[in-house]
Structure 1
Amino acid sequence: MAAKSEKVQLFLQIFESILKAREIDVLEQDYTQRGEAFFHVSGAGHENVAFLNPYLIPDDYLHCHYRDKSLMLARGVTSRQFFLSLFAKDQSHSRGRQMSAHLSDPSHNVLSLVGPVGNNALQAAGLAEVVKNKAKNPIVLCALGDGMSQQGEVLEAIAHAVRETLPVLFLIEDNNWAISTKTQTKTFYDHPEGPASEFYGIPITRVDGRDPLTVYETFGNVVTAMRADRKPAIVVFQVSRLNSHTNADDQRLYRTTEEIEETRRRDDPILFLRKWLVDNGVAETELDALHSRLRDELRQEAIDAQDSPEPEPCFTAKADLPKALTDPAREYRGTSDGDQITMLEAIREVLKTRLSWDEKVSLFGEDLEDPKGDVFGITKGLSQAFPGRVRNSPLAESTIVGVSVGRALAGDHPVAFLQFADFFPIAYNQIFAELGSMHWRTDGGWRCPVIIMATCGGFKPGLGPFHASSMESIAVHTPGLDVYMPATAGDAAGLLNAAFESQRPTIFFYPKSSLNDRSAATSRDVARQIVAIGKARIHRKGDHFTFVGWGNTVALCDKAAQALEKAGVTSDVIDLRSLSPWDADTVVESVRRTGRLIIAQEDSLTASMASEISATVAERLGGQAQIRRVSRPDTHVPFHFENQLEVLPSYKRILTEAVEMLGGKLTWIQDKAPEAGFSFVEAAGSSPSDESVTVLEWKVKVGDDLKPGQMLAEMEADKAAFELACPLEGKLVEILVPVGDMVKVGTPLLKIATGNARVARKPATQENPGTPSLELPASATIAKAPASAALPALANQGPVAGIAGISIAPGSRKVSNEEISRQCPEWTPEDIYKRIGIESRFWANEDETAVTLAVKAARELLAKHHLTAADLTAVFCSTGTPVKFTPSTACLVLAELSRGLTPQPEMQAADINSACSGYLYTLQAAYDHLLHNPAGKVLVLSTEVLSRRTDPADYQTAPIFGDAATATLVVGADNAQQMLASIDRPVLSAKGENGDILRVPLTGDGYIYQDGPKVYVEAIRHMIAQLEAACSVNGLTPNDLDLVIAHQANQRILNAVRQKTKLPVEKVFSNIRNYGNTSSNTIPLSLYELLPERRPGKLIGLTAFGGGFTFGAAVLHTL
C-alpha cells in the first residue's frame, strides 16, 4: 500500500475529528430523546471548521461558535468533556453549571461560551489587544453565527478591531438561519442589493464550507496574512444547518421535509471530505473501520461519563478571598498627620502606583488621556507617565467593559472607567453575563479581575438625570461582583488597593461630591493603605441609634448624629463602604444594642441595598428593632437642585426621621436674611465636583460699581482655574475673602449694595435647612434599646457543665490522597482535594481498634488532669464501630482504665450509637448527669474505625473517612474553675431512615454506603435547623456566634452551611483537610485545636448530622 501524502494524513486526522463531532451529535440526540439528557446542539453541517486548526498555534485564543465541536476536538478538547457536559457532571469543565453546548478549556485557550450570543466579540478584541505584539504573532478567533453577527456588540467589536488594528478573525458561520428566521440579505455582509465586499474597510472573504480543499486553503491564506499584517479579517463560512437549531426546536415547522432531506444529501461536509479522501487513495474500508472504532469508543465514553459523580450545588459565584484581605487587623487608612490629599488625589495615586508596579495594569475609558485626564481629573498625568496604558475609549460603554474582560482573560489586570454610574446599564450585558459569571461558570478555570470604576451620586448643582444616579442596588444584585463605595479618601485608597489584590471582578463607585472633600482626606502613603473587604467602618459610637450609610450619605448621617448628640442622644454611624460583601454582623450587633436603625441611600427605594439591610436585621433580631429607610423614592434625580435635595436622602430628611422615631418634635431656625438693599456674591465652582475655591486675584475694589457679567476675580477651583463673573448690579461695599484664602463653595465672597435694583433669586448651591431645634421626650424614656432586643444574660446560677480538657488519638497510619488515588483511579489526588477538601486522613493500624484508640485518648486525658478512673462518675461513649456489642465500648475502656485500682470503681457507663451526631448525644448525657451531680466528672468518649468498613475501590467513600478517638473531661458546677468552656444543654433530634441513603454495616457485611446528593441535602438542612434551635435557647441566632464547628463531613457541606447561614468564612471552622470525616470525632478534634487558644467570652456553636438520621447542636461559652 502506497504511503499517504502529508496532506492526506492531515485530512484524515481532521476527518477523525469531524466524525467524532458527528457521532457525539448522534449520541447527544439519542440521550435527549430518551430523557437521560436535557439539552443538545448539533454541529452537523459546520464540521469543516476543523480545517482551521492546522493553522493555529498554542498561543492563539479561540472564542468558538456553539456548533464548533469538530474544531474544539481538533484543538484538543476531549470527547469525554462533551459527554460530561451533556450530563452536567461534576468532572465537567463547569461542574454542571453551564448548558451542555457552552464549553470551555483553558488548557487549550478555548474560551468560555455563554448564552447571550455575540458576547464573545468584544472579548476577542480585548484578547487581541494583549496578544497583538506577542512573539509568534498569535491571533484570536471570534466565531459567530449569521444571526448573532447582527448584535450591536459584534458591530462594536469589529469597529474596535479596525480602530486598533487587532488580529481578530471574525469567522461568520452562515447557515442562512437564525433559529427560524432567514438571514439572507439581512446582514452587514449580505445586503438586499447583493453581497458586500467589505465592512468597516475589512475585505470580506467567502468560502464554500462544504469543500474541504477550498476551506483548507482559504483558512491558510487568511491566517498567514493575519500573522504578517496583524489586521482583522472577516470570513463568511457558507454552510448548511443539517438538523434543528437545538433539541428544543423542530425545523419541520418552518422547513419542508423535502428541503431538509435535499440539504442533507447536497450539503453534508462529511460526504465531501470522505469523497476527497477516497479520491486521494484512502480505502473505503479504512474509513469505515475508523468510523466503527470511533462509534464504539464514544459510546463507552458516554456510558462512563453518565456514571461519573454528580456535582453538588455551589452557593456563591465568587472566588474565595485570601484571609489577609478580610482581616481588620491589617487595615490602614492613612493618618491625619502631614500633607493631606483628597479622595480624587488618593485614587489617582493608587492607580499611578499600580501602573508602576504591574505592567499588566491598564486604564480604558472615555476622556482618560491627558491633557483632559478624565472629566473629573482622576487620571490627570497618567497617560503621559504610562504611554499606551491609559487610553481613551470610544463612547461605547459595552466596548469599554467587553474589551476589558477580554484583556483580563488574557492575563491582564484592566481598569475600565464608566464616566457616570448612570451609564452602567449600557454595559450591563457584559457585566452580568460575562464579568460576574466567569469564575462561577468555569469553576475558576478563567479569571476575570476587571475593576470597573464609575463616579456616582448627586448633591451638587449642575447634576441631574443620567448624571446623578448611584446604581449600587443593580450592582450588588449581580452575582459574582464585589461592590464598593467609599466615603473618605482613606477608604477609597484602601478599597482600591484591596480590589487589585483580590483579583476578583469589582465595581468601584466613587461619589463625585466627595472627590474634593478635604474634611475626609488622607495621608499621601496610599500605597500602604488597605481596607478589609466586607468589613464596615464605625465612624461614630453611641448607644441610642444606629445610622448606616455609604458614599455621600455617611457625612449626612454623621451630621444628623451630631445634632442628636446635642440633645443627649448618641449614635453609632456605620460606613458600610463594602456593599458586596457587606458587614451584616457589625450592623446587627449595633442595632441589637441601640434598637433603632436608619439606613440612608441615594439609590431608589424598592428592592434596594437598604431593603436588604432592613430584611437582614429584621430576620436576625426577630422584629426587635425600629427600622427606617431614608432613600430616593422610585423616581429619577431632577436637575433642579432644590428638588434634588428633596428627592435625595438629605441631612434634613435623615434627622427628621430620627426625631420621629424618638417621638420628638423638630423645627428649623432659619438663617437671617441679608439686610434690605444688600446682597452677596457667593463662591461657585467650575464644575459640580468642586468643593472649595481659592481667590487668586480680585479684579474689583471696594466702592466699584458692578454690572452683571463683569469679571470679579481670578479663581482656582478643585478642577480648574476660572473667572468669576458678577451676577448682579450694585456697588461693592465689602470684600469678605482676601486673596489666597480657600473657602467652601457657597461661602459669601462680596457684599454688594443693590439699592432698588432688581436682584435675581439666587439658586441654591448647597443644602441649608437652617439650625435644628429638637424637642425630645424626657431622657428617661429614651432607652438605649428595647428590652427585648438586648442579649439575654447567662443564668445567674452559673454553668451546669463544662469542658475541662480534651485528648485525641488518631489512627497511626497517615494516608495521603496519592495512596487513595491508586485504589480509586477515577479520582486524581487533586480531584479528591478539590471535591471534598481532604488532603490526608489517619487510618488504624492492624493492631488498633476502636477500644485501643479510646483507651489511648482516655489515659492521656486522665494523666493530664492527674485523675484515675476512680475519680470519674460516669463514662459515655459514642461509637458506630464497636468491636463487640457486649460488653459495651464504654465498659471495655473503663475496664482498661480500672486495671490496678482497688476496689475497682463502679459508675454509670454506656455506649450511644448516633453516628456523626454521637458526640453531642454524649454531651447531653453528661450534662444531665452533672445537673443532678454538680461535683461529678464525666469521661465522654468518641471512637470510630471506619476505614475497615469502606470499599477501598469506591471513590464515593474511600477518600472520605478516617479513624480516631477522643476523650473529653466534662465537669459540673462545683468544678467550674476547671472549665475551658461551659456547655448549654445540647438540642437533639432524629428522623428515621432505613439505611437506603446512609448506612455503616456490621463487620463482614458489606461496606459503608451513602447516597451523596441526598445526604448532602439532609445534612445541610438539619445542621442549620438544629444550630438555630440551640441558639434560640439563649435568644441568639447563628450570626451571633463567634465561631461555628459543624460536623466535618466534607468541605462542600461545610461551605454550604456557611453560605446558607450567611456566615463569613472565618466564622466556620474546618480541619477536615488533615483528618477526613471521622464521624463523631470531628467536633472534639476541632475543639482540641481551638480551646487551648480560646479567648474568654466567646460563643461557639456546635452542630452535627449523622446516619439514622440523627442531628444535634449546642452552644459553648468560652471561659
Structure 2
Amino acid sequence: MAKNASAHLETLKTLYRTMVISREADLIEQDYTGRGEAFFHVSGAGHEATAALNPFLGPQDWLHCHYRDKALMMARGITPEQFFLSLFNKDASHSRGRQMNAHMSSPELKVLSLVGPVGNSALQAVGVAAAVKNDENQPVVLCSLGDGMTQQGEVLEALAHAVRETLPVLFLIQDNNLAISTTTKGKTFYQTPEGDAQEFYGIPIHRINGRNPESCLECFEEVVSSMRVDRKPSIVVMNVDRLHSHTNADDHKVYRSPDEIEAVKKCGDPIVNLEIWLKSQGVKDDFFQGMAQNIRLDLKKQASLAQRSGEPAPTRTALKPLPSHLEYTAAEYRGQPTEKSEDNLVMLEALRDVLKKRMADDDRITLFGEDLEDPKGDVFGLTKGLSTAYPGRVKNSPLAESTILGVTIGEALAGKRPVAFLQFADFLPIAYNQIVSELGSMHWRTDGGWQSPVIVMITCGGYKPGLGPFHASSYEALAVHTPGVDVFMPSTAGDAAGLLNSAFESGRPTLFFYPKSCLNDRENATSSDVEKHLIPLGKARIARSGKDITLVGYGNTVKLCLQAAEALAAQGAQAEVIDLRTLQPWDKTAVATSVEKTGRLVVVHEDNESAGMGSEVIAVMAERVTRPFQVRRVARADTYVPCNFANQLEVLPSYKRILETSVEMLGGQIAWKLPPTAQKGYFLVEAIGSSPSDESITVVRWIVKPGDTIKEGDYIADFEADKAAVELKSPISGILEEILVPEGHMVKVGTPVLKVKTGEGEESFKPLTKENPGEPLISGLQLGAPKASQEKVLSTDPKGIVGIQGVACVKGSRVVTNQEISALCPEWEAEDIFKRIGIETRPWVGEGETVLTLATAAARKLLKQTGLTLSDINLILVSTGTPPAHTPSLASMIQMDLNKDETEPLLVPAYDFSSACSGYIFGLKQASDHLKLRPKDRVLLITAEVLSPQTNMADHGTAPVFGDAATATLLLGSGRLGAMKLKVLETALGTHGESGDILKVPSDPKETITMDGPKVYLEAVKYMPQLLTDACHQMGIEPQSLDLIVPHQANQRIINALRQRMKLAEDQVYSNIRHNGNTSSCTIPLCLEELIPQATAGQKWGLTAFGGGFTFGGAVVEVV
C-alpha cells in the first residue's frame, strides 16, 4: 500500500470519479436502448472496481479486457464518446460500427480487441506476453475474465501455457456468481465443491472484494510489482455483484429473487461503498455534491453528438488491401529448375529454405507447432535445422491446436510475425474457433487497428498407403468459407516457395495448405533461389494449354489432371489444365476465359463434394461464362478418407475417374487394359519409403547378390528415403534372379528393384501402393463445341447481355449545411432536419456552375477513366428535369462541349428525356433496348439535375431536400463482355398520370418547386417495392434474395419505410443521402460510384426509384 496517505486518498477520489462516469454512461446507454434508439447494451454496474488496477499500470502494459470493464477502460483512456459511438455503431467508432458496443479496442492504449466468444482472449494474452516478456520496461499483460468463461478449455490451456513458459499474465477473474443465469459457485477451477482453491497449476490465487474498491489497491500493487520482477503469471479473483441484468436483452428478475436483487443493490454497489469509505476518511460533501448530475449532463451531450454523427459505409471484404507487387497483374517468378536434379529443391526443401532466409532477415519471425525443434525438425522434416540456427525462435508447442493459433495470434498483435504449424489438416477443426473468430475477423472488426498476419502451415491430403482418417483430409472448403484469410494450396515447389514469400509480403492472415504427397516430388522441383520466388495472389497457373476441355485442380489433384490430359492428347484432344494455387482469392478470370474457349469444365478436389470448391467454381462460371458449357465435379464423396489404400483411391479423385469423366464429356467411350503382372513363378520386389510422404529412394547398399537364396523377412538392402534411412526386408522367399536398380541410383517409391524366382505355388501378398488402372482404350471423342442438347449444360445467352463499364459523378461545389437551411427556413432547427429526413449537408451549384458544366464534367471524368473519346460513343441519352433550354437540348450542348476540340462534328445521336427521379432506370431501359440490337455499341447515359435555384427557401418541405449533381454511365453490349463491371439483368417501368398538384418542377426557372410531402411519401412506399418486385419476378427470384437494394435517395424516411415494407435487413438497403441530399435522377448512380469499387463478383443488386409524374422503375444488376 502506498505510504503517502494523502496520495492514496487522491487515487481513490480519482477512482471514484471514473466509476461514476462509467455508471452514468451505463445508465444513459440503458435509456437509449429502452426507447429503441440503440439496440444492445452491456452493463458494467457492480464491476467498476476493476479500475483500481489502473494506477499500477503503465503505457507499456497490455490489456485484454472483459466486456464489463467499462470503468477500467475509461481509466485507461478510452473516452465515453467512444463507448457512445460504439453504442450507435457509428463510423467514428473504433470498429466503424462493426462490433457490438461493449467489445472495445484501442491500439494506441494497448487495449486489445474484445470478441463475442468469451475466453478466446486468454490465449491471445499469453501470446502477447510471450512476445513482450523480455522487454526492458517489464510489461505485464492483463487477461480479464468472468467467472463463467473461466471454464472454457482455451482459458485453461492459456493458464497452462503461462505456467509452462513463465509468462507475465495477470488473470483477473471477476466473480459475480453468474454466467448469465447459471450459478457458478463451486463450479470453477478456483472454487470447487470442496471450497476455495489456493492455487492452480502452481499459480497462487489472490482474492479481493470488488464491492469495496479501497481494499483492492494493495493487492493489485503487490501483484503487479511482483510480476514486473519475477515475470510469472498471477491469478486474482475479485468478488463482485452484477447489479443489472446481463444485457438489455436479459431480465434477471426471471432467475433472481426480489430479495437477492435488493440485497446486491444494498450491499454490493462499489460506488456507494467507496463513497461511504471516502467520507469516513474526511472527504467533504462538496466533493460528491452534484458530481453525478454534472457528469450525466456532459455525457448526455456526448451521447447526443455521437448519435448524430456519420453512419459507416458497408464493407464487403474482411481483408486488408494487397501491396501492388502481389496484385493479380503483378509479375511472378516460380524459379528456373536446372537439368541437374541434385541442384533443385523439392517442395519440402524449398519451404524450409524460404523460412530460413526469412528468419535470417527478420528477427520478428517465430515458428510454433508440434515437434518442430531439432532433432525431429517436424514430423515431415520441414523445420529441420531451423531451431539450431535460430535458438528460441522455433518452439515445440503442446499438443493443443487452439494454443498454437491463440498464442501466435497474440504474438502477431504484439508485432511479431509468427508462423503456426498444424501437423495435419484433420486437426484444423480443433483450432477453427481461433481462426474464424480471431484470425479472420481481427482486421475487419478493428478497421485495421489491429493486425494478425499469422501464417498457418497445414499439411494435408491423402494418396499414400498408411494414411487414413484424421491424417488424410484437406478441409480447404472450410478454410475458403472463412472471411478474412487467404488460402493457398500449391502443387509444385516453385509455387510453394513463391506463395510462402507472398504470405510474408502480404501481411495478411494466411492458411497455407501443403500436400504431404507433393513434399518430395522431384518432378516438380524448383531452383535454389527461393528468396526471389513470388506469386501474385488470386492468379492461377496454366499448367497445360488446350482448347477442348478445361480441367481445374490444385494441390494433389493437379498431377492427376495432367496425367489425364496426357492420355487425352494421345487421342487428339487438347485439355487445358489450370492449377488454382490460391483458393482465396481464386482466379475467376482465368477459369472463365478457359471455359469460354472449351465449353467443358471439370473441377477436381480432394475435399468432399458438398459445398466444396467445385461447387463454388461452377457457380461463378454459371454467372460469368456467356456460352453454353458442360460441367462436372470429381471430388471425394461425402465420407471420410479410409486407410485401406484401394478404398482410398476409390473415394478420392483419381486419374482413372478424371479421365473417364473427361472422355464422357467429350462424347467418347473408354475401357481399360489391365497392367501386366510378373511372370508366373517370379516376384518383383518394389522400393518402399520410410513414411507416406516419401516420393523416391536411393539404393545405398545391396546386402544380397544374384543367385542368393533369400527368405521372407531377410534384411536385403539399405535405402535412403526422403525422410529417413530404410532397411528393406524381403517380402517373399526364393532365389534372387536379378537386381533391377544398381547402388547409387534413385527411383520412385513403388518401382521394382529386385526380381525373385519363387517356387511353384509360392506367393506373397503384394499390397496396392499406387494407382495403376492400366492402359486407357479411348474411342469416339467428339471434339469442338459441346452440343447444346447434351446433359449438364449451363447456358447464358450472350446476345441479350447489357452491362455497365463505369460510373462517374460530379456534385455542386457548394456544400450547404442544415444550419444554413435553418437560417433560411426557421421552421426547422438544424437537428430536426437531420432527424426528419436524414440529410446533414447537400451539394448546390457554386459560382459559374450550371447543369451543363456539371454534366460535361461528369462525362469527361468517365471518358478519362475508361480511356475513350466521344468518337467511341454511339448514343448519348440525357435524363434531366432542369434543362437550360427546350432547344437546343442539353444532350446536344454536352455533345458540342465534348467535341469542341475537333475540326469535324461527330454525328452521334443525342437526346434528352424527362422521367424525373426515375430517370436513371428509364435510361437503363432505353440503353438496353439499343444495345441488344447493336451489341458492339457504347451508350453514354447522363443524368443532370440542378434543383437548388428553383427551391423555395421559405418552404420547409422542399428547402432542405434537394441537391445538385450530374452523373455519367457507360453501357456496353454483349460484344464487349470483358469490360463490364455490372450486368443489367432486368428492368421494369411504370407511370400513372398526375397533374402537378402533388409534385411540380416548373419550366419557368423563376418559379419554385412545389411538393405535397405526405402524398409523395405514399406513392413512393407503395410503388417502389412493387416495381422492384416486378423486375425480380421477371427473373424468377424474390427481392429478399438480393444482396443489396439501392433505392432512389429521396429522404431517409422513405428509404426506411421501403426497407420495413419489404422486410429487409438494415444492411441490405444502401443509403448515402446524408451528405448528398435528393439529387433526383442522379441519386442511384451516385450510390453505384461508391459501391462498384468494393463489390463482390456474383452479387445481385436491386435498383428502385419513383419520381414526379408519377414515374416508377425497378431494375436488377449483377456484379461481374
Report the TM-score range of the alignment, normalised by the length of the smaller protein: 0.7 to 0.9
Q: Does 1:273 align with 2:274?
A: yes
Asked whether 1:471 is paired with 2:487, we answer: no
5 Å-filtered alignment, 1:632-711, equals 632-711=636-715
Q: Which residue of 1 aligns with 2:1096?
A: none
Q: Secondary structure at the match of 1:429?
A: helix
List per-residue Cα deviations over 1:791-827 (Å, max 9, x = no partner). 97889xxx99x99xx999989979999xx9xx9xxxx
User: Which residue matches 2:631?
Assistant: 627
Question: Per-residue displacement from partner, 1:746-775 (whole Å, max 9, x unpaired)?
Answer: 001111112147432011111111111113
Contact residue 46 and residue 68 of structure 1 kept, 8 A:
yes
Opposite residue 26 of structure 1, the aligned amino acid is: L
Task: Give the Cα–Cα distance (whole angstroms) in 2 for the partners of residues 767 and 775 of structure 1.
Answer: 22
* Worse-superposed segment, 54-63 or 959-968: 959-968
Structure 2 residue aligned with 1:154: 155
- Out of 354, 359, 377, the position equivalent to 2:381 is 377
- The one-letter code matched in structure 2 to 1:522 is T
- Deviation readout 1:881-906 (Å, 9 max, x if unpaired): 5457788646878999999xxxx999
Q: Which residue of structure 1 aligns with residue 426 of structure 2?
A: 422
Aligned to 2:754: 750
Aligned to 1:337: 338
Change (3 A) 1:1028 1:686: farther
Q: 5+ unaligned residues in a row in structure 1: which ranges?
A: 824-834, 863-868, 1031-1037, 1039-1045, 1050-1074, 1089-1100
Secondary structure of the residue that 1:523 maps to in structure 2? coil
The superposition leaves residues 105-156 of structure 1 with CA deviations (integer Å, 9 ceiling, x where unpaired) of: 2222211111111110000000111111123111110001111111111111
SS at match of 2:497: helix
CA contact (8 A) 1:1027 1:1113 kept: yes
Give the structure 1 partner of residue 60 of structure 2.
59
Identity of aligned residues (%): 54
CA shift digits 1:235-265 (9 cap, x unpaired): 1111122222223333333332112211211
**Equivalent residue of 1:542, what SS?**
coil
Q: 1:959 to 1:648 in 2, by over 3 A?
A: farther
1:354 aligns with 2:358: yes
User: Paired residue for 2:765, among 761, 766, 775?
Assistant: 761
> Which of 729, 733, 740 matches 2:744?
740
- Residue 617 in 1 paired to residue 621 in 2? yes
Shift of 1:73: 1.0
**Structure 2 CA distance for partners of 1:928 and 1:196, relative to 1, 3 Å:** closer
Paired with 1:778 and 1:897, the residues of 2 have a C-alpha distance of 53
SS at match of 1:510: strand
Q: What is the alpha-carbon distance in structure 2 between the residues aligned to residue 873 and residue 767 of structure 1?
A: 59
SS in 2 for 1:330: coil
Q: CA deviation at 1:942?
A: 6.3
Matched, 1:492 2:496: yes
| Residue 587 of structure 1, CA deviation | 2.2
Deviates most, 223-232 or 581-590: 581-590
Match of 1:304 in 2: 305
1:434-488 CA distances to partner (integer Å, 9 max, x unpaired)? 1112222222222111111110000001111111011111111222221111111
Q: CA deviation at 1:907?
A: 13
Contact 1:998 1:1015 in 2 (8 A): no
Evaluate the alpha carbon distance shift between residue 874 and residue 396 of structure 1 in structure 2; reply closer, same or farther with a 3 A threshold. closer
2: CA distance, partners of 1:96 / 1:571: 49
Q: Judge conservation of contact 1:418–1:452 (CA < 8 Å) in 2.
A: yes
Distance 1:170 1:998 in 2: 66
2:222 equivalent to 1:221:
yes
CA distance 1:880–1:283, change in 2 (3 Å): farther
Please report how far the alpha carbon of residue 1022 of structure 1 lies from its aligned counterpart in structure 2 after TM superposition.
Answer: 10
Match of 2:545 among 538, 541, 544: 541
Please name the residue that 1:1094 is paired with.
none
Q: 2:461 aligns with which of 457, 461, 475?
A: 457
Offset of residue 83 of structure 1: 2.2
Contact 2:984 2:1115 (C-alpha < 8 Å) held by counterparts:
no
Partner of 2:1057: none
Partner of 2:173: 172
- Cα distance between partner residues in 1 of 2:675 and 2:665: 27
**Is structure 2 residue 587 aligned with structure 1 residue 583?**
yes
Matches within 5 A, 1:955-1104: 990=989
CA drift of 1:375 comes to 0.7
**How far off is 1:224 after superposition?**
1.0
Contact between 2:625 and 2:796, CA under 8 Å: does it hold in 1? no
- Matched residue, 1:131: 132
CA–CA distance in 2 between the matches of 1:998 and 1:132? 70
Contact 1:916/1:1105, CA 8 A, preserved across alignment: no
Q: Is the 8 A contact 1:494 1:529 kept in 2?
A: yes
SS at match of 1:13: helix
Look up the match of 1:517: 521
Equivalent positions of 1:257-272 (< 5 A) are 257-272=258-273
Q: How far apart are 1:1026 and its partner, in Å?
A: 9.3
Aligned mates of 2:333, 2:303 — CA distance in 1: 55
Matching residue of 1:731: 735
CA separation in 1, counterparts of 2:325 and 2:789? 35
State the match for 2:38 in structure 1: 37
More displaced stretch, 654-663 vs 188-197: 654-663
Q: 1:1020 to 1:62 in 2, by over 3 A?
A: farther
In structure 2, the CA distance between the partners of 1:962 and 1:702, relative to structure 1 (3 Å rule), is farther
Match of 1:406 among 410, 418, 424: 410
SS in 2 for 1:83: helix
SS at match of 1:341: coil
Unpaired runs of 5+ residues, structure 2, are: 824-837, 864-869, 1036-1041, 1050-1075, 1090-1099
CA contact (8 A) 1:125 1:161 kept: yes
* Counterpart secondary structure, 2:216: helix
Residue pair 1:917, 1:1112 contacting (<8 A) in 2 also: no
Q: One-letter code of the match for 2:226?
A: A
Does the aligned pair in 1 maintain the 2:634–2:653 contact within 8 Å?
A: yes
Report the counterpart of residue 243 of structure 1 in structure 2: 244
Q: Structure 1 residues 932, 277: closer, same or farther in 2, change over 3 A?
A: closer
Distance 1:927 1:611, change over 3 A: closer
2:720 maps to a residue whose letter is: E
Structure 1 residue 845, shift from structure 2 partner: 5.0
What TM-score results when the alignment is normalised by the length of structure 1?
0.80
Match of 1:232 in 2: 233
**SS, match of residue 483 in structure 1:** strand
Structure 2: distance between partners of 1:63 and 1:765:
52
Question: Residue in 2 aligned with 1:317?
Answer: 318
Q: Which secondary structure state, in structure 2, belongs to the residue aligned with residue 559 of structure 1?
A: helix
d(CA) in 1 for partners of 2:205, 2:908: 92
Give a deviation string over 1:601-631, Cα, whole Å, max 9, x none. Answer: 1111222222222333344458943322222
Q: 720-729 vs 309-318, which deviates more? A: 309-318
Deviation, structure 1 residue 690: 0.4
**CA distance in structure 1 between the aligned counterparts of 2:390 and 2:1078, rounded to whole angstroms:** 53
Number of the residue aligned with 2:717: 713
Instruction: State the partner residue of 2:213.
Output: 212
Does the 8 Å contact 2:851/2:884 carry over to 1? yes
Greater Cα offset, 340-349 or 392-401: 340-349
1:211-238 Cα shifts (integer Å, max 9, x gaps): 2222011111111111111111111111
What number of residue pairs does the alignment pair up? 1024
Report if the CA contact (8 A) 1:544-1:594 is conserved: yes
The one-letter amino acid of 1:686's match is S
User: What RMSD in Å do the two structures reach over aligned CA positions?
Assistant: 5.5
* Length-normalised TM-score, structure 2: 0.80
User: In the TM superposition, what is the alpha-carbon distance from 1:941 to its structure 2 partner?
Assistant: 7.2
Kept in 2: contact 1:544–1:783 (CA 8 A): no
| Offset, 1:206 | 0.9
Please tell me whether the aligned partners of residues 920 and 986 of structure 1 are also in contact (alpha carbons under 8 angstroms).
Answer: no
Partner residue, 2:775: 771
Q: Which residue of 2 aligns with 1:1033?
A: none
